[in-house]
Amino acid sequence: MESFGHVIAGEEVASADGATFESVDPWTRAPWATVALGSADDARRAIQAARQAFDDGPWPRMSFVERGEVLHRLADLIVANAGELALADTTDMGKPISQTAGHDVPRAARNFRFFADHSRLTPAETFPMPDGHHAYTQYDPAGVVAAIAPWNFPLMMASWKVAPALAWGNTVVLKPAEQTPASATILARLALEAGLPPGVLNVVHGYGPNAAGQALTESPDVARITFTGESSTGRAISRAAAANLTPVSLELGGKGANIVFGDADLDHAVRWAIQAVFSNSGQVCLAGSRLYVQRDIFDEFLARFTAAADALVLGDPKDRATEIGPLSSREHFEKVAGYLDIATAAGARLHTGGVGDGWSVRPTVVVGAGQRDRVTQEEIFGPVVVVLPFDTEADAVTAANDTPYGLNAMLFTQDLSRAHRVARALRVGTVWANCFFVRDLRAPFGGAKHSGVGREGGTYSREFFTEPKAVVMEI
């Protein structure tokens, strides 16, 4: 068994009361690691360490160049230890190693490089005033950042929060999801090796409600809370943060619409639509889990899409050839499998797919569901897609906007004007036209409606992780 402690004030430590829990490999369905189980007291210990590093330590006072050097060294170490990091996430949550090694770990390193460079190179505003005054904006680090991460992209999501927070001079307490503690601990070990001063990046493990997670959201010593997870958790965190008026950035759930128009390049649309909903076994907030296909191509698209879904390789996530691993835990498998029953009980049909071996669900295509059915409205977070026909562009937009979520949408068409028109009409944080998941880290990222509050990325991250201050001088 591997062992992962908290990382507090530069030391890897046990919980104050010695409590531990086990992380279970969802492929073998056996525990593979013992992890320190953080209590509210452990979270407070980590906040204290971060507070001290912020108030008395060098990090907030270092130049962007000096901080950037440390963050680039950390990115180098992430790349040098990519095998260990990829295996950690794959073992914790069952994501195929081709995806953790091929995408998540390189992207985590890139997040550190990007925010190191962005913070150094982004100018601040000056406002020369004709009446003999001069104003400028100073971006002061906010203080201690609580970063609360989900299990579906463990290292990648952690780095998306930690990198900008650190680049702008904050200190951090990271709480990874209880299902995926390993890579966050390894990251904190590597950060110390890279030269990050003790207490600047702390990691505390454990659960959310009435535990370490909640304690982070209730602390008056925390200056910012950045959270990614379920919309219902986002509501609980917002309520807790309100007591101290702590600013929150919430990246929440989704039920992405993918609209395929009759004039789309079908091979291209099928390829992206498959990736949009089945990669990471559909455990992606951005998943294109509602597939709206124009009626004149519906049958042909469905046939090609189903054939591609059936061809995906299921199996051991540590095998390089595997494209679909198990779901992340027994609890999550039961939730996703339950939605297959909910779909058929409401009169829909599983065109292909269904429950697989162990905690697996095969790529599942649901047809005959209604727009208002639970399977069409609720986030399933598994390899399950509802395919629905539509007639007009207006019908597609209405249906796409008709859920409480608004994280993202995709559309496939060769008509450029229509792509712009539909992109404008969709009430979401990101629209991908003729592609999916492509990111420019300067662009805003976040959700509309119940999919989030605020945006991160580039200057949006700067706004959140700093206290922008106006300085006005008489000259």
Residues within the interface to ligand NAD (CB under 6 A) = 148-152, 157, 175, 177-178, 207-209, 213-214, 217, 228-230, 233, 236-237, 251-254, 285, 379, 381, 407, 447, 451-452
Q: How far is the CB of 40 from ligand NAD (least distance, A)?
A: 11
The DSSP element (H or E) to which 473 belongs, if any, is: strand 466-474
Token duo for residue 212: 């370490």
CB 273 within 8 A of CB 305: yes
Q: How far is the CB of 408 from ligand NAD (least distance, A)?
A: 9
Q: How far is CA 442 from CA 152, 264, 323, 455, 457, in A?
A: 23, 29, 30, 11, 5
Which segments within 301-420 are labelled E, that is strand? 349-355, 361-367, 384-390, 405-406, 408-412
* Catalytic center residues: 251, 285
Query: What strands, in cross-sheet order, belong to the sheet with 144-148?
Result: 11-13, 6-8, 201-203, 171-175, 144-148, 224-228, 248-251, 452-453
Q: Which is nearer to ligand NAD, 169 or 457 (CB)?
A: 457
Q: Which is nearer to ligand NAD, 136 or 207 (CB)?
A: 207
Instruction: Specify burial of residue 183 (Cβ count, 10 A radius: 0-12, 13-18, 19+).
Output: buried
Residue nearest to ligand NAD (CB): 208
Q: How far is the CB of 420 from ligand NAD (least distance, A)?
A: 24
Q: How far is the CB of 233 from ligand NAD (least distance, A)?
A: 3
Q: How far is the CB of 361 from ligand NAD (least distance, A)?
A: 16
The H helix count followed by the E strand count for the chain is 16, 23
Q: Which is nearer to ligand NAD, 231 or 306 (CB)?
A: 231
Instruction: Specify burial of residue 473 (Cβ count, 10 A radius: 0-12, 13-18, 19+).
Output: exposed
Q: How far is the CB of 155 from ligand NAD (least distance, A)?
A: 13
CA 122 to chain centre: 24
Q: Which is nearer to ligand NAD, 21 or 390 (CB)?
A: 21
CB 9 within 8 A of CB 198: yes
Q: Which amino acid is at 183?
A: S
Q: How far is the CB of 211 from ligand NAD (least distance, A)?
A: 8
Q: Which is nearer to ligand NAD, 60 or 282 (CB)?
A: 282
Q: Which is nearer to ligand NAD, 257 or 367 (CB)?
A: 257
CB 152 within 8 A of CB 280: yes
Burial 135-171 (b: 16+ CB within 10 A, else e): eeeebebbbbbbbbbbbbbbbbbbbbbbbbbbbbbbb
**Chain length of the chain:** 475
Token duo for residue 146: 């609580």
Q: How far is the CB of 3 from ligand NAD (least distance, A)?
A: 20
Q: How far is CA 142 from CA 120, 170, 201, 239, 323, in A?
A: 17, 6, 15, 21, 41
Q: Which is nearer to ligand NAD, 60 or 288 (CB)?
A: 288
Q: Which is nearer to ligand NAD, 379 or 393 (CB)?
A: 379
